[in-house]
Structure 1
Amino acid sequence: MTNEYNPDGKEIRFIDSHYKDLFHIPDGSCVQIHYPDEMVVKPCTFIDEYHTQIGYNVFHICQFAEIMERNGASYMPEPEIMGDEAAWKVGKDRILAVQTCEDGYDYTLLDENYNEIDGGQVDNPELSMLEVRRDILESFGLERRELRAMFYEDVMEQAFEVGRQAVVVNDPAHPAAQQVAESESRIAALKVQKRELLEAINAGKTALHTVNEVLETLDNAEGWSTWDVMGGGLMADLAKYEELDNAQKQVEQLQVELRRFKTELSDVEITADLQVTVDSFLKFADFFFDGLFADWAVLDHINQAQSRVENTKGQIKRVLALLKKMREDVDVQIADEKEKQEQLAVETEL
């Protein structure tokens, strides 16, 4: 990242109070500060080799180190977020919740009372969670605020409860009040359904990624096995079995991920046929690979494995396509309910 003070994109240097280098971070990223009683994340901007803007304040790098030492605080680069969801208190009066989805990320921006201010989707799965957070905060002019990590599930449950209780019609005796309250309940239920769909989609995407890794490993094994059949010798034999060992480990991981996929699908109202399909995924892995490495007809078994894994891949993709369609339908229903509420509000004012 570059800014007006940093056209060359130099990194920000952090030192201790004795001028010993501790670490560097890219311009525009964050430092994570551990105070005795809390942990805070602050955005950083390069000013020059010896000065850095941290949050809203500019510090000499040694001055910052001395302040941290006096406060009994330690500091480190903010680590990447490896999970599928995260939430932060943004300054004093905003909360941001972000969750991965099939096409990128879904986000919800709330006020301090958990009322929804804005929400949407960032259609760029290539971005990291931290990059998406930075872009969202910049779009709302919140990029300088310090952040405090929150539990995503707690945030969304609180937002759900606030939404459930909200009634946008001022006069509770008005006939439209009951309709609005019922609409809010439907929206809250739809948001829960959407969250469950996103969790299932993410589980399916994880399994699909591992399936692709298995296929790549089996392709490598097939190449070495073909060479072995043609007289490749000891090197081809060793390389072949190394790839097959890797495939075995990947399939074991795939079994775990498919079980998680099955668990997530059980929370979603879908057809029984889809559930049976997932059961067959697990049976495939348990049944087929038990005998793969004990048989000398390795090349033939590799070809069979490739065929079966390709079939598994196709099944996962079909399930994901159905889940995506279901999520889109839920989005449409939520939009329809909000439109009804707006119409009720207009009619109430007339």
Structure 2
Amino acid sequence: MAGSPIGDWNVQLQQCMQDLEWKRKRERSLARLEADIGKQREVVESSFRRFQREEEEAKELAASMFSQYWFKLFGKWEDRLGTEEKEAAEAKLKYDAASDLLSRLEKEREELASELAEVADADLRLDSLKRAKESWIREHDAVTAAEMEALSGRIGEIGAELREIGEAERAGEQAKQALLRAEDRLESAKNWGTYDMLGGGMIATAIKRGRMDEASDHIHEAQYHLRRFAEELKDVRMTSEVGVPQVEGFLSFADYFFDGFISDWMVQGRIRDSLDSVGSHLDKTTEALQKLRLQRKSLEGEEAEKRSRFDRIVEGYGA
């Protein structure tokens, strides 16, 4: 590769990778230091308040004629005043020590920030060098370029698949939450219905009806999200079969729940049927989400491996 810039690029890449590691290490140190400074500020503020309080108490004692008379009466004036002054002095020492440590920490932060500034563009320089080297390889080495092309193509496919999975997961999670809310309201309606049948009166009936109305809203919401979930899953290429809840047969009980001619025991039966339907769809939705998460983790692992291989080709080429 005489006359090629690969040798120089490799030297620069090594330096950039060292700078990047240095940068990341300093960023971690700076984050820990920021947390320590925040805690130390609280210590300084607390010790300053204590110092002020102790100093004020010593001054008040020294200025109080009544306190002087009382303690002198028993011969303890000097001891009492000395104790207060000693406590104030100790509080001042602790405040000074806390303030000094805070100053040292803030100075250390300035030094770290200055060191970070020197390598702030390490990741940008590394990316620029890798792009330049990658472009040269594609132009001058057809075999390696083909391998890189295959890797980058698969990385692009994985990225698209992960986006589709993300959209499906969001739709599925929204459906799951709506189903959970519907289940909660139906359980409450069932309990109030039982109480109503045992003579709970108008209040129990009103609460039961209210819970049924709320459950109806949540089920309609779940139906909407389940349809979206099913549509999103059509775009996901799964490695295993995903059990998709079928929304066509999903109970839309709101249409007949409020038939004034049906008896209480029939209403209770329909609430139980609705609970069974919601529970079944909730189980299927949860199962589908679990499979999606497994698929996403598998794809994320494959993507990381492909990116690592691509980087090794570019970074190690000509070394």
Q: TM-score, normalised by structure 1?
A: 0.50
Does the 8 Å contact 1:167/1:177 carry over to 2?
A: no
The counterpart of 2:258, out of the listed 286, 293, 302, is: 293
The counterpart of 1:316, out of the listed 263, 285, 298, is: 285
Q: Does 1:235 align with 2:203?
A: yes
Pair 264,167 (structure 1): closer, same or farther in 2 beyond 3 Å? farther
Pair 201,252 (structure 1): closer, same or farther in 2 beyond 3 Å? same
CA distance in 2, matches of 1:200, 1:274: 12
CA distance in 2, matches of 1:301, 1:347: 68
Residue in structure 2 matched with residue 188 of structure 1 by the alignment: 156
Q: Does 1:348 align with 2:317?
A: yes
Q: Does 1:281 align with 2:247?
A: yes
**CA shift at 1:199, angstroms?**
1.0
Does the 8 Å contact 1:169/1:176 carry over to 2?
A: no
Does the 8 Å contact 1:167/1:180 carry over to 2?
A: no
**CA shift at 1:345, angstroms?**
2.9
**CA shift at 1:343, angstroms?**
3.4
How many pairs align? 199
CA distance in 1, matches of 2:240, 2:250: 19
Between the two structures, name the one with larger relative contact order (CA 8 Å, sep ≥ 6): 2
CA distance in 2, matches of 1:258, 1:289: 17
Does the 8 Å contact 1:292/1:298 carry over to 2?
A: yes
Pair 271,256 (structure 1): closer, same or farther in 2 beyond 3 Å? farther
CA distance in 2, matches of 1:166, 1:213: 55
Identity of aligned residues (%): 22
Structure number with the higher strand fraction is 1
**CA shift at 1:7, angstroms?**
4.4
Residue in structure 2 matched with residue 265 of structure 1 by the alignment: 233
**CA shift at 1:167, angstroms?**
7.4
**CA shift at 1:260, angstroms?**
1.5
Runs of 4+ with >6 A deviation = none
One-letter amino acid of the counterpart of residue 168, structure 1: E
Partner SS state of residue 231, structure 1: helix
Partner SS state of residue 134, structure 2: coil
Pair 273,341 (structure 1): closer, same or farther in 2 beyond 3 Å? closer
The counterpart of 1:178, out of the listed 125, 143, 146, is: 146
**CA shift at 1:221, angstroms?**
0.5
Q: Does 1:211 align with 2:176?
A: no
**CA shift at 1:333, angstroms?**
1.3
One-letter amino acid of the counterpart of residue 175, structure 2: A
CA distance in 2, matches of 1:299, 1:201: 34
Structure number with the higher helix fraction is 2
Pair 181,271 (structure 1): closer, same or farther in 2 beyond 3 Å? closer
CA distance in 1, matches of 2:133, 2:282: 46
Q: TM-score, normalised by structure 2?
A: 0.55
Partner SS state of residue 230, structure 1: helix
Residue in structure 2 matched with residue 305 of structure 1 by the alignment: 274
Pair 337,167 (structure 1): closer, same or farther in 2 beyond 3 Å? farther
Deviations 1:145-168 (A, max 9, x none): xxxxxxxxxxxxxxxxxxxx9973
Q: Does 1:251 align with 2:219?
A: yes
Mapping 1:47-86, distance limit 5 Å: none
CA distance in 2, matches of 1:268, 1:262: 10
Does the 8 Å contact 1:258/1:281 carry over to 2?
A: yes
Residue in structure 2 matched with residue 59 of structure 1 by the alignment: none
**CA shift at 1:303, angstroms?**
1.2
Query: Unmatched 5+ residue regions in structure 2?
Result: 1-34, 44-119
**CA shift at 1:263, angstroms?**
2.0
**CA shift at 1:270, angstroms?**
3.6
**260-269 vs 307-316, which moves further:** 260-269
CA distance in 1, matches of 2:311, 2:248: 47
Does the 8 Å contact 1:204/1:320 carry over to 2?
A: yes
> What's the C-alpha RMSD, in Å, of the aligned pairs?
3.4
Does the 8 Å contact 1:258/1:282 carry over to 2?
A: no
CA distance in 1, matches of 2:290, 2:39: 45
Pair 290,272 (structure 1): closer, same or farther in 2 beyond 3 Å? farther
CA distance in 2, matches of 1:235, 1:167: 77
Pair 344,325 (structure 1): closer, same or farther in 2 beyond 3 Å? same
Which entry has the higher C-alpha Rg, 1 or 2? Answer: 2
One-letter amino acid of the counterpart of residue 328, structure 1: K
One-letter amino acid of the counterpart of residue 345, structure 1: V
CA distance in 2, matches of 1:200, 1:227: 41
Deviations 1:44-71 (A, max 9, x none): xxxxxxxxxxxxxxxxxxxxxxxxxxxx
